[in-house]
Amino acid sequence: MLGRYVGKWFYDKGIPFNAANSPYFPLIVSAIQRVGPGVKPLTAYELSGPILDEEVEEVKK
């Protein structure tokens, strides 16, 4: 079931399949497993605003 949902998201958004080979992909899956049921999906605003800002700062350091 999980595989189908992940696959559907990849297909719908045109994400290249080799994105699953990213070292960050297993980290995402592990983080979602740790949070467990009830985890809320991130919004486009969160991803393109505060979270992106944090990543940019980390790269600068």
In tens, the pLDDT along 37-60 reads 898 999 999 999 999 999 999 999
- Domain boundaries, position 55: 2-60
Run of H or E residues at 5: helix 2-13
pLDDT at residue 1 above 90? no
Confidence of residue 8 (pLDDT cuts 50, 70, 90): very high
Whole-angstrom distance between the N-terminal and C-terminal Cα of the chain? 40
Between the alpha carbon of residue 21 and those of residues 8, 35, 37, 43, the distances in Å are 17, 23, 25, 24
Determine the pLDDT at residue 58. 94
State mean pLDDT over 5-9: 94
In tens, the pLDDT along 25-43 reads 999 999 999 998 898 999 9
Instruction: State how many domains the chain has.
Output: 1
**Residue 14 region by backbone torsions, left for phi larger than 0, else alpha for psi between -120 and 50, else beta:** left
